[in-house]
A and B are shown apart, each in its own frame.
Chain A
Amino acid sequence: MAHTRISMYQPPDINPTQAAIAYGCRALPKLNEELQSENLRMRQKALMALCDLMHDPEHVYQAIQIGCLESLKALLRDSNHLVRIKTTEVLCIMATHNIGREGFLKYNVVPFLALLLNDPQLLCRLNLHQAYKHLAQLPQGAQGIINSGLIPSLVWKLQREEDESVQLLILDTLSSCLWEGATTEALDNRVVPFLKEMLLSANEDIRAKAAHTLMAVCVPLDGKNQVWQYDVIPILVHMLKDPVQEVQANAAGALMYATVTTEGKYAALDAEAMAPLLMLLNSSLSKVRLNAIKVLTMLAEAPEGRCYLQAQVPVFRLLEDDPNPTVQRAALTAIKVIEWKP
């Protein structure tokens, strides 16, 4: 029964770790002011509240409109680690929304985030790299990352970082950026040797992602030449026999691009790539089959490859009945190439 006494206890749903969120449209401006306050506690509480609010895209839009990003940029340099962790978390959540990503690019947040690449706190770096990964999935975002000159530092971090989850995120970011054309910079920074080491790592996710990034590296001609020079092709051939399908698919994809050049073709033939590839043709994952067919097509351009594959044409005929139309087309092209006479 309700008492007539005015209670001294506050209502039960207040979270002491969070700042009070004002009603309606006053919420975000008030939080913005609190973010800029001198009091550490107030800043932390405001950040916690902001984290919760940023899940809503309308709030993200409003936050960017009122210039929360400026205060967040200032907070990135704060000395307290909790503040930094929370700020990066907020930015990461904002990066999952498209408006947030565009806001990042407009307000030039990327270089400020880069200041924290060497942060001692693991969570901070995790959030940071997640934010970058989300940003890199947008083409303009990837361009923004490239323009800020982050590719060399990211490649360096790839080698230096011990923690594997961070490495995975960096690999994702790098592969998205490489598709947008950061390959010359990355190649200058010795990305191929680093990726070569990672191909031999024990963690299968890392192997898969490293092979995926290598695929992006191999697209331009410089990449192909470097990959051949550093003798990565035998390792890729070895990875074709890997038990994990994702790894197989990505390795076949990387090989597909690397064997376009004549040197690459002969390197792959020397590494005896034919047998594993033919085994891959029966795989259940369509991506694996596709990439394997493509590699075989490349190898069939060389006379030795063509000799060997002429005996295997029936296998390709079988693939023409595959449910995936892309696989059918790829099989047809492969047969055409194998049966070509000069």
Chain B
Amino acid sequence: MGTYTYTSQPRALPCQRRRYRDNLMQPDDEPVRFGNIMYDRRVIRGNTYALQTLPLAGQQDPLELQRLQQAKRRALARKRAREQFRPRTPEPVEGRKHVDVQTELYLEEIADRIIEVDMECQTDAFLDRPPTPLFIPAKTGKDVATEILEGELFDFDLEVKPMLEVLVGKTIEQSLLEVMEEEELANLQASQNAYEELRNIELAEVQRLEEQERRHREEKERRKQQQWEVIHKHHETEQKIAAQAFAQRYLADLLPSVFGSLRDGGYFFDPIQRDIEIGFIPWLLNEVDKTMEHSMLGRTVLDMLIREVVERRLDMFEHKYPTPGNRSWQGSSGAMAGSVGPYEAQAPGTSPAQNSFLTKDYLPTPTPDKRSLERGLSQDGRGVEEGDPTVQSTEAGMKQTAELPDVWNSARP
């Protein structure tokens, strides 16, 4: 409220006057012209005792305002009127244009460029700037001295106290800070040490417990292992004993049975007996066979001889007493059978057998001598069997021969 102040750094004011008509260029391009303070309208010249007072608070009378405006308008109108009456070049005709042209003898280039000329000037080489001479001002005036006695200017002790206090205080403060820092560090170190101790102790404790645990565990394992081994051994021993008992019992009659089966299998043999059995007896049997065959052969030959003889006798008889051929044939056979000897029931069996001789091949006749051998020899079995079916058929034949050889029939039991 009240006063208005304005401050600014003192500066030279540029001139407001325009030099050229169409000066639309910015004042930067051309040098700023500063106005001369002597010719500045704003500066009040002359005495200031009786000045025109400015209208109060800037508020103008409406009358004044009107008058000013009218004056302005009139000036403007006058200016415009003057402009109109000024001779001007006529406007160009249609299709044409005004152009500025130089009409002098020698044309000159019109350019905005300011003609520059380089000027040079040579000076001597620069010398080092000599040092500024000491400025010793001329001695002027009079020398004056003042005597200051002790205690007149100031009291040193009193004055120095605050300064000293500050100095000392600051130093002590700084040192206190440093000491506190060190103390803090020492405290930190101490707590670190305490922590480290505790940590070491705890770690050692942990390791000890671990070790203890490990030992106990190993001990337990070992004992368990031992116990397990004992039980295992125990089991094994039991099993061994059981197995042994069982094996013993099982194998008790092994030997006898083995021997028995071997003996049954014929593995135990008296070598001599074996030898006899294998070698001697077959040979013997072979020899017996041969002998038998010989005797059989002999008998057969004998039989043939007898037959021959009997046939011849028959023929001789027939010549003497002729009878039906067949019956005599059979009778002769019966006679032949009887001639063989007083034989048993098998004897009639032999006659058909002998018949079969004559009709078929030569077969050995079963004789009482051979009866014991019949069982052994299979050949005779054949003869016996052949003989049996023909027994009945030849019975009749036997009876027919009754008439002839009574001797033979009576001989037969």
Contact = CB atoms under 8 A, between A and B. Distances in A.
Our verdict on whether A and B bind, yes or no, reads yes
Interface stretch (B3-11, B202-210, B302-310): B202-210
Q: Most chain-A CB neighbours within 10 Å: which of B134, B200, B212?
A: B200
B200 A253 contact: yes
Given A253-B200, A294-B204, A261 B135 contact: no
Interface size class of A (residues with CB under 8 A): 20 to 34
B208 A297 contact: yes
A183 to B, nearest CB: 14
Contacts of A253: 200
Interface string B178-210: 000000000000000100011011011101101
B204 A298 contact: yes
A290 B207 contact: no
B67 interface: no
Interface string B369-410: 000000000000000000000000000000000000000000
A25 B198 CA distance: 46
A260 B204 contact: yes
A301 B205 contact: no
B236 interface: no
B211 interface: yes
B198 A326 contact: yes
B215 interface: yes
A4 interface: yes
Interface in B119-161: 134-135
Q: Most chain-A CB neighbours within 10 Å: which of B135, B205, B210?
A: B205
B201 A326 contact: yes
Contact of B201 (A4, A219, A290): A290
B217 to A, nearest CB: 14
Given A5-B134, A326-B198, A294 B205 contact: yes
B316 to A, nearest CB: 137
B197 A219 contact: no
A290 B205 CA distance: 12
Contact of B204 (A4, A257, A262): A257
A215 B199 CA distance: 12
Nearest to B135: A4
A260 B47 CA distance: 115
Interface string A284-319: 001100110010011001000000000000000000
Interface string B204-247: 11011011100100000000000000000000000000000000
Contact of B211 (A261, A287, A290, A326): A261
Contact of A260 (B134, B135, B198, B208): B208
A174 interface: no
A262 B215 contact: yes
Contact of B207 (A4, A260, A326, A330): A260
Contacts of B200: 215, 253, 256, 291
A133 B92 CA distance: 100
Contacts of A261: 211
Contact of A257 (B197, B198, B207): B207
A333 B205 contact: yes
Interface string A257-289: 100111000000000000000000000001100
A254 B215 CA distance: 22
Contacts of A287: 193, 197
A219 B211 contact: no
Contacts of B212: 301
Interface in B88-107: none
B198 A256 contact: no
Nearest to A294: B204
B197 A326 contact: yes
Q: Most chain-A CB neighbours within 10 Å: which of B198, B201, B203, B204?
A: B204
A107 B208 CA distance: 42
Given A4-B135, A5-B134, A262-B215, A298 B208 contact: yes
Contacts of A294: 201, 204-205, 208
Nearest to A333: B205
A301 B197 contact: no
A5 B134 CA distance: 7
Contacts of B203: 219, 257
A309 to B, nearest CB: 15
Contacts of B134: 5
Interface in A199-237: 215, 219
Contacts of B211: 260-262, 301
B215 to A, nearest CB: 7
Contacts of B198: 326
A175 to B, nearest CB: 10
Nearest to A6: B132
A163 to B, nearest CB: 25
A297 B203 CA distance: 13
Contacts of A4: 135
A257 B134 CA distance: 84
Interface string A33-48: 0000000000000000
Contacts of A333: 205
Nearest to A253: B200
B143 to A, nearest CB: 14
Contacts of B204: 256-257, 260, 294, 298
B201 A330 contact: yes
A290 B208 CA distance: 15
A3 to B, nearest CB: 10
A300 B140 CA distance: 105
Contacts of B135: 4
Contacts of B201: 290-291, 294, 326, 330
Q: Most chain-A CB neighbours within 10 Å: which of B193, B198, B203, B208?
A: B208
A275 to B, nearest CB: 21
A198 to B, nearest CB: 20
A291 to B, nearest CB: 8
26 contacts: A4-B135, A5-B134, A215-B200, A219-B207, A253-B200, A256-B200, A256-B204, A257-B204, A257-B207, A260-B208, A260-B210, A260-B211, A262-B211, A286-B197, A290-B197, A291-B201, A294-B201, A294-B204, A294-B205, A297-B208, A298-B204, A298-B208, A301-B208, A326-B198, A330-B201, A333-B205
8 nearest A-B pairs in the assembled complex, by CB-CB distance: A260-B207, A256-B204, A294-B204, A260-B211, A287-B197, A290-B201, A298-B208, A260-B208
Given A253-B200, A260-B210, 6 more contacts: A286-B197, A290-B201, A291-B200, A298-B204, A301-B215, A333-B205
Interface of B: 134-135, 193, 197-198, 200-201, 203-205, 207-208, 210-212, 215
